[in-house]
Every structure is written in C-alpha cells, then in structure tokens.
C-alpha cells in the first residue's frame, strides 16, 4: 500500500525480486559463455545453459523460500537451473555454475541490478538538470528575498536559487555517471577467492565473464572488500541530499504566508482528508522522506564494510535489501523532484511583494554602505542601525527614518536613499553566477 507513494513502478521493477533473479541468471549465463570461450566447457553446453537462463522459468519467491536454509537464494537458483538444463542436456547440466560460489553470482547480480536502476535514475536526474537550467535562465533577474536562518537577509533572484539547484544536481549526476561507467565490477572468486577449481583457466574465465556482462574486471575478488557497494550507497546518499535541498526549498516557498511557488497541479494532488482548501506540496514532501531513508540505508551499506576474513558473517546479507531500497527510493525522489521542477509555478509578483515585508530594512546593509562613503563606516553603520530601531518601534518604513534623519539628509539626497533601498540595485554578482551555472550545464549536458 505504501510503496507506490514513494517509488514509481518502473523503478520498483528494476530492483524487485524478479529483477535480482534475472540478474543472477544473466550472471550464470555469462559464466557459461566465459567457460566456453576459455575452453573449459563445450560450446554446446554453454549454449544449452544460456537458453535455460530464462526468468520466466523460475519463481523468485519460491527461490527465496528454498534459499532460507542456505541463507541466500543462489543455491536454490543453481539447483533449479540445473534441473532445467538437464531436461535439455545431462552433459550441459554438469557445467552449470562451474567455478563460482553463491556470493559470486549474487554480487555480480547486485552490480547488474544497480546498473539498470542507475540508468533510470540518471534519466530522472537529466530531466531535473534540464528543468533547473530553464528556471535559472527564465528567472535570471526575477527578484526575491534571500533568506538565512529562515529570515529575510538580502535581495537575490529566483534564477540564482535555481542555478544553485542546477550546479548541485550536475555534481551529483557526475558522481552517478562515474559510478555507472567504472564503479561496477564483476565478482568471480570461487569458494575462498582463489578460483582454485578452475585451475589455470581462472583468470581467462574471469576476463571473459566481465566482458560478457559489460562490467569492470576487478584485480582481485572483492568478497569482503565492499567499497563498491558502499560507494553506491554513498553516491545515492549524495544525490538524496541534493534532492532534499530542492524539496525543502519548494516546501518552504509554497507555505501559505510565503506563496512564492506552487507545485504543479494534478487531479487530487495535495488534497487533505479534512481541509478541502489545502494544496500540499506532496511531491516535495515524499521526495524529502525518500531522501531521509536513502541516507539511513547508505549508513547500513557503509556499516557492512567490516567483514571477517574471506567471507562475511552477516554483513553481506544486510546489503541486499538495503541496496535495493536505496536505489528505488533515490529514484523515486528524483522522479518526484523532476515533476516538481518541470511544472513549478513561479509567482513573481508574490516574490516582489515579499521583498517589502521588512519595510526597507532588507537593504539596510546597502544604505549603510552608501552612507559610509560620505561619513565613514562606523558612523554610517550607527546611523542606519538607529534608523532601523526607530522604524521597527514605530512600524514605519526605513526610508522615512533615513529621509527624516538630519545627519543623513545632509549627505544623501532622497533620490540617493531611494536608490540605496532598491533591491534591484543590490544583487552583486547574482546574474553572473547564473550565467556561470548555465555555462557549466551546457558543458556537461548529455549528448
């Protein structure tokens, strides 16, 4: 009941039990092909094994139940696969799973499952970066209040906020792409990481096994070196943090009292069971929830790095579901954030209106800077600070206090005061930063 709220069907399917079983069968098929190429088993036997590595012939739930005594599903899968192959060729059945151990097949399947899920995640991330680039470009000069510690601080632009989102998404995408390209390696080491049962054919089989699967060939078996799995978790956690940042910004800006953005509307979206007027930012809320869970799951994967000798006593087992969930939830968060930024409603008038909430005091720093050119920094700061206190106490606009202050009036005209209090004139390098972010996007945009 809860699953579809957080993870789209395509992402859930990419990491489900059937996806793992399919990946394990792909590993078994590749192992047979590698054995044949290395001259270890007959080509006809390899072909028979490959034909039987058909996911439609097996039931992942049944394999899970039958795998309970062994503590993993690989032995049950090997038995079932051997039975299927024996129906075709008794000789070929003798070569099923030759030279491998359960962890070889399961770890290699983890790499294949991760690769397929990462492809989906990267597709969502590409959509997010495209949408953020559009927001940054379209709103390069859209004024809004910059906020620190949830309080208005100085003027900024919505384009710069979107540019910040964009750069962080591009960084996460770079890490994901590097992981997808070179961080996934085949696992083949046999019972204790020596491939002893393959004799002199061990390294040739490993090489062909990795080539057949399109995975990197690890220099040594990594049964208890879990840096690859941990790196997947770490990279997903990084992405989750980036997505959580965007989600929280949207949630805060969509508050009733702020009203600067709205999530894209949809039938029944954002509704409340008791309050019909509400339009909750549910896409961002669920994305933020996913991100929190991904970071916890990444910790589980990192904790599993402490393993004993040549085979872990429990840490390895803790990875399977944590990895699946981390991939699914990170993908679900990315899918939601993509939908948010692609359809985000930006209320420019409300942004401009909110700039006036402090009655000019948002520009007090600029007023003090301008005044310091005539009076010196300390005196100017003191005069503007006193004017701010009077404005707050009397609920008046800062302009009134500055204009009525005789010492300020002697050195600044009303026009100069108005210019100092114009938010459009105090944006510093905001526009240039947006341009730099967009240039980075163009350089890294997928071909």
Q: How far apart are the first and last CA of the chain?
A: 39
Which pairs with CB-CB distance under 8 Å and at least 24 residues apart come from 213-218?
A: 213/26, 213/27, 213/30, 213/108, 213/111, 213/112, 213/186, 215/108, 215/111, 215/112, 215/115, 215/184, 215/185, 215/186, 216/182, 216/183, 216/184, 216/185, 216/186, 217/185, 217/186, 218/185, 218/186, 218/187
The residue from 79, 137, 311, 390 that is catalytic is: 311
Beta bridge partners of 184: none
The first and second tokens of residue 269, run together, are 């979206």
Q: Closest by alpha carbon to 210, among 185, 237, 177?
A: 185
Give Cβ neighbours of residue 154 (< 8 Å, ≥ 6 apart): 145, 146, 362, 363, 365, 426
230 is catalytic: no
The residue from 65, 174, 272, 389 that is catalytic is: 272
Query: CB of 5 within 8 A of CB of 286?
Result: yes
Query: CB of 431 within 8 A of CB of 143?
Result: no
109-141 burial, b at 16+ Cβ within 10 Å, e below that, comes to bbbbbbbbbbebbbebbbbbbbbbbbbbbebbe
Strands (DSSP E) contained in 139-250 are 143-148, 151-157, 185-186, 216-217
Helix (H, G, I), strand (E, B) or coil at 156: strand
Give Cβ neighbours of residue 336 (< 8 Å, ≥ 6 apart): 247, 283, 284, 286, 287, 290
The first and second tokens of residue 131, run together, are 């949408």
272 is catalytic: yes
Cα separation, 46 vs 414, whole angstroms: 88
Cα separation, 84 vs 72, whole angstroms: 20
User: Residues with catalytic annotation?
Assistant: 272, 311
């Amino acid at each position: 009941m809860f699953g579809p709220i957080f993870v789209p069907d395509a992402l859930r399917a990419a990491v489900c039990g059937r996806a793992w079983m399919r990946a394990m069968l792909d590993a078994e098929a590749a192992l047979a092909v590698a054995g044949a190429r290395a001259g270890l088993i007959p080509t006809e036997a390899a072909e028979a094994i490959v034909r039987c590595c058909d996911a439609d012939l097996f039931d992942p739930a049944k394999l899970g139940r039958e795998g309970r005594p062994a503590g993993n599903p690989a032995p049950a899968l090997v038995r079932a696969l051997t039975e299927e192959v024996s129906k075709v060729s008794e000789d070929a059945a003798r070569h099923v799973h030759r030279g491998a151990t359960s962890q070889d097949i399961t770890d290699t399947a983890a790499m294949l499952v991760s690769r397929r899920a990462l492809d989906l995640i990267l597709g969502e991330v590409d959509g997010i970066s495209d949408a953020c680039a559009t927001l940054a470009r379209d709103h390069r000069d859209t004024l809004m209040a910059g906020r620190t510690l949830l309080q208005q601080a100085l003027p900024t632009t919505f384009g710069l906020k979107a540019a910040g989102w964009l750069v962080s998404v591009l960084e996460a995408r770079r890490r994901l792409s590097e992981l997808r390209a070179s961080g996934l390696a085949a696992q083949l080491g046999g019972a204790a990481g020596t491939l002893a049962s393959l004799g002199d054919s061990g390294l040739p089989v490993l090489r062909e096994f990795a080539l057949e699967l399109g995975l990197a060939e690890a220099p040594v078996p990594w049964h208890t070196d879990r840096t690859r799995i941990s790196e997947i978790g770490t990279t997903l956690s990084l992405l989750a943090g980036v997505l959580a940042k965007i989600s929280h910004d949207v949630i805060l800006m969509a508050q009733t009292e702020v009203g600067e953005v709205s999530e894209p509307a949809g039938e029944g979206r954002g509704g409340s069971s008791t309050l019909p007027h509400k339009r909750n930012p549910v896409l961002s809320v669920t994305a933020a929830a996913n991100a929190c869970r991904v970071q916890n799951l990444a910790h589980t994967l990192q904790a599993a790095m402490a393993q004993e000798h040549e085979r872990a006593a429990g840490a390895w087992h803790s990875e399977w579901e944590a990895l699946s969930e981390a991939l699914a939830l990170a993908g679900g968060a990315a899918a939601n954030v993509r939908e948010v930024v692609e359809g985000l409603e930006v209320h420019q008038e409300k942004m401009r209106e909110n700039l006036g909430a402090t009655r000019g005091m948002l520009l007090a720093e600029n007023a003090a800077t301008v005044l310091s050119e005539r009076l010196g920094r300390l005196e100017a700061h003191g005069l503007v600070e006193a004017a701010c206190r009077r404005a707050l106490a009397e609920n008046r606009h800062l302009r009134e206090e500055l204009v009525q202050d005789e010492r300020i009036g002697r050195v600044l005209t009303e026009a100069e005061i108005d210019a100092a209090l114009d938010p459009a004139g105090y944006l510093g390098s905001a526009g240039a930063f947006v341009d730099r972010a967009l240039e980075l996007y163009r350089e890294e945009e997928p071909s």
